[in-house]
Structure 1
Amino acid sequence: MKLLLDENIPHPLKKDLSQHEVFTVQDMGWQGKENGALLKLMLANGFDAFITADKNLQNQQNFINYSIPVLVLSVNRLTYQNISKLLKKLIAILNSKLPKGATIIELE
């Protein structure tokens, strides 16, 4: 599966998802792109899912137009240590049939 990590996601997460083909926004040279433009680029470049911590993305974009799964990591403080607590859930979702649109992943 080809995944894109948003600019706000700590890069060490890339290693935790090594069973997939993982790129960061920086790897692709897409820094500073607006979300709509970023989603269009992802579709044009064959990405299967977008991983972000932008909780407002689902309210900013019409996912009917962009039928790509967006996995939103919901943590209090955006650090690798906090995000790694969501890793089991994230991997389980990635190993299932990905839902289109935004899926919030948070601690219970």
Structure 2
Amino acid sequence: MRILLDECAPRPLKRELADYQVRTVVEMGWSGKKNGELLELMSQEGFTILLTTDQNLRYQQNLQQARVAVVVLVAPSDKLSDLLPLMPDALNVLDTIASGEVIEIGGS
């Protein structure tokens, strides 16, 4: 399983995913790519999960066609301090999420 950490998520979140093969959008040289192009590049490079804070992605893209799963962290902000409490739940879904599925972690 290869995980891509979206550019809207703070890069230090990668430390919370030490047991997985994780790259950031910046590390891949994909900064500024639109979501559709990003999902296509992910699929081509063998990524299976996108970890993001973009709550609109599921409404803007055909994730079934993209052949990737998406974990959306829903917090008051994109700050690391707001996202870290969500990581235990996010880690729990990584091994069970299926291609094309979107799981939101956090929120109300």
TM-score, with structure 1 as normaliser:
0.93
Gap regions ≥5 residues in structure 1: none
Alpha-carbon distance in structure 2 between the residues aligned to 1:89 and 1:67:
23
Partner of 1:98: 97
- Larger helix proportion of the pair: 2
Alpha-carbon distance in structure 1 between the residues aligned to 2:15 and 2:78:
17
Partner of 1:35: 35
Gap regions ≥5 residues in structure 2: none
Matched, 1:5 2:17: no
Secondary structure of 1:12 counterpart:
helix
Please report how far the alpha carbon of residue 62 of structure 1 lies from its aligned counterpart in structure 2 after TM superposition: 1.2
Partner of 2:56: 56
Alpha-carbon distance in structure 2 between the residues aligned to 1:94 and 1:65:
20
Q: What is the aligned length? A: 107
TM-score, with structure 2 as normaliser:
0.93
Alpha-carbon distance in structure 2 between the residues aligned to 1:87 and 1:73:
8
Moved over 4 A (4+): none
Q: Is the 8 A contact 2:6 2:51 kept in 1?
A: yes
Q: Deviations over 1:12-32 (max 9, x none)?
A: 110110100110000000000
TM-align CA RMSD: 1.2
Partner of 1:46: 46
